[in-house]
Amino acid sequence: MARYLITSALPYINGIKHLGNLVGSQLPADLIARYLRARGHEVLFLCATDEHGTPAELAAAKAGQPVEAFCAQMHEVQAGIAAGFRLSFDHFGRSSSPQNRALTQHFAGKLAENGYIEEVSERQVFSIADNRFLPDRYIEGTCPNCGYDKARGDQCENCTKQLDPTDLIDPRSAISGSTDLEVRETKHLFLRQSALRGELQAWIDSKTDWPILTTSIAKKWLNDGDGLQDRGITRDLYWGVPVKKGDQDWPGMEGKVFYVWFDAPIEYIACAAEWAEANGKTDADWERWWRTDKGADDVTYLQFMGKDNVPFHTLSFPATQIGSQEPWKMVDYIKSFNYLNYDGGQFSTSQGRGIFMDQALSILPSDYWRWWLLSHAPESSDSEFTWENFQGSVNKDLADVLGNLVSRVTKFCRAKFGEVVPAGGQTGPREAELIAELTTRLRAYEGNMQAMEVRKAATELRAIWVAGNEYLQSAAPWTVIKTDPETAEAMVRLALNLIRLYAVVSRPFIPDAAQSMMDAMGCDDWSWPEDVGAALATLPAGHAFTVPDVTFRKITDEERAEWQTRFAGIRT
């Protein structure tokens, strides 16, 4: 029994996430959390909404709400959807929590104390009409290179040339369209990442088992040009953690807040404190997960995220932790994902393209999505969602292979022996062969899960399901019963136990279906099948069960066509 701390990248607050976001962080994190719990490990699985920053302020303004109220409401919406997908967070926190405010200010204070903070005066574009400083990409204008009239201050989307806001011709605010802009002097705090480069480099170099996708991005940033750059960690915004040095004011920084990417990863820690508070626990209870001087030295910490989040998790946040010179638990393994595309293009939150989490749940139960998304997780490269593929995979794997197995076994038993586990007969070589195959495959499945090879784990699980059909087909109890009813009883007894075993091993992928399979077997024994033979004798002769409703219904061609049309456009 080991201890695992698991965090998923924090979903941003300004809207409902799409399936690409889900499969890139929260869903695989949930899969692994559920698996490790099932194996008896102690798991703390945390996630939260990432609430600060310009987009949140703008989204709130658009909704005509104060930003605090908007975020509180969107947090509840996201929490509800997460529950709908059966994401088994031990706590779903908020980066705007009091705990995170205090901890973010604490880190800033420590970093300043240790000489890792520098005050820098910068000149930034200020929009008088909007009464706010504009981040580069919130400034639009005509590209000096190609003449495109909607170029952004950081880059022209048309010719991909990198720009500086002052390069733009006829610059205007992307928020209001106002051209009443001026350049103002403003002071900000910078995290001296350059001073921590050596330590970060050594730390990254020690992570030889990380995916190339993860380390290559980190190394690029460490070594590109002059090496790792210092990073501004404050902003001139209203909505954020007020800049303070611990609990002291920070002279000259009044009215400013920390940059969202500074406080968001700190929420991984603060979320544990929120978890403790919400569950009547003490500080020591969460610190044993996060402080290596208070019991966290035996914790394995796993992070899950899309590839766009990698630099912040391999560099900025570790720099924050190291620079504090306090014994914080650092990440042991970063599992990063590529992107899921939608019908030939990208999923896009800003453009409303693709399927969003609430829409997905409105048309099908979460298990359908969980299975498809996890078995097609974009691990080695970007992957593609198409309705045809979704319909085909779900119908075949879930309805035909697994669901129908449950159906044929329970209905056959009910018709021939009643709704109890039959008592007669003995198992023979055919059953021993099945047990051997299941054992081999189960050990492979466990290996894939431990290695967080999500697709391979799904493939193996499917093969485990198929083995049940192969067994039934060759055993053919419907034929055997005519001449040797006792043996047929033994076969059915084993098959009913197989359903319970499948519920246990499938639960990380399809928790609801697993629950209904277990319920139908009239059982609540979720112990992991270390010994397959023994596990297949769990339900004793005479044990009552029920024939469940259809476990997975099929997606019809008409439904597929309708959804394909409905979700082809842009969500408004």
Contacts (CB under 7 A) with RNA, residues 475-504:
476, 478-479
Residue ranges in 516-555 that form contacts with RNA under rule CB under 7 A:
550-554
**Long-range contact set of residues 199-205: C-beta below 8 Å, sequence gap at least 24:** 199/322, 200/228, 200/315, 200/318, 200/319, 200/322, 203/318, 203/322, 203/330, 204/314
Note whether 240 and 255 are within 8 A (CB). Answer: no
- Is 54 a binding residue for RNA by CB under 7 A? The answer is yes
Which residue number, 197 or 291, has a Cβ lying nearer to RNA? 197
Which residue number, 32 or 499, has a Cβ lying nearer to RNA? 499
CB atoms closer than 10 angstroms to residue 171 = 20
- Is 439 a binding residue for RNA by CB under 7 A? The answer is no
Alpha carbons within 13 angstroms on the beta-carbon side of residue 7 total 28
Which residue number, 109 or 165, has a Cβ lying nearer to RNA? 165
Percentages helix, strand, coil for the chain (3-state, rounded to 5) are: 50, 15, 30
Mutual orientation of helices 260-278 and 283-290 as an angle, nearest 10°? 130
- Is 400 a binding residue for RNA by CB under 7 A? The answer is yes
Residue ranges in 192-211 that form contacts with RNA under rule CB under 7 A:
193
- Is 322 a binding residue for RNA by CB under 7 A? The answer is no
State the nearest-atom distance from the C-beta of 71 to RNA, in Å.
12
- Is 227 a binding residue for RNA by CB under 7 A? The answer is yes
Residue ranges in 325-354 that form contacts with RNA under rule CB under 7 A:
338-339, 346
- Is 60 a binding residue for RNA by CB under 7 A? The answer is no
Residue ranges in 359-378 that form contacts with RNA under rule CB under 7 A:
376
Residue ranges in 69-98 that form contacts with RNA under rule CB under 7 A:
none
Binding-residue total with RNA (CB under 7 A): 82
How far apart are alpha carbons 146 and 155 in whole angstroms? 12
- Binding RNA (rule: CB under 7 A), the pick from 55, 84, 246, 424 is 55
CA 295, chain centre distance (Å): 26
- Is 164 a binding residue for RNA by CB under 7 A? The answer is no
Stretch that binds RNA, among 70-78, 228-236, 433-441, 500-508 (CB under 7 A): 228-236
- Is 515 a binding residue for RNA by CB under 7 A? The answer is no
Which residue number, 301 or 342, has a Cβ lying nearer to RNA? 342
- Binding RNA (rule: CB under 7 A), the pick from 246, 392, 424, 485 is 392
**Long-range contact set of residues 211-220: C-beta below 8 Å, sequence gap at least 24:** 211/334, 211/335, 211/336, 213/307, 213/310, 213/336, 213/338, 214/310, 214/314, 214/334, 214/336, 215/314, 217/307, 217/310, 217/311, 217/314, 218/310, 218/311, 218/314, 218/315
- Binding RNA (rule: CB under 7 A), the pick from 404, 439, 515, 564 is 404
Strand, helix or coil for residue 240:
coil
- Is 560 a binding residue for RNA by CB under 7 A? The answer is no
State the nearest-atom distance from the C-beta of 261 to RNA, in Å.
6
- Is 282 a binding residue for RNA by CB under 7 A? The answer is no
How far apart are alpha carbons 324 and 62 in whole angstroms? 38
Residue ranges in 112-151 that form contacts with RNA under rule CB under 7 A:
122, 124, 135-138
Strand, helix or coil for residue 366:
helix
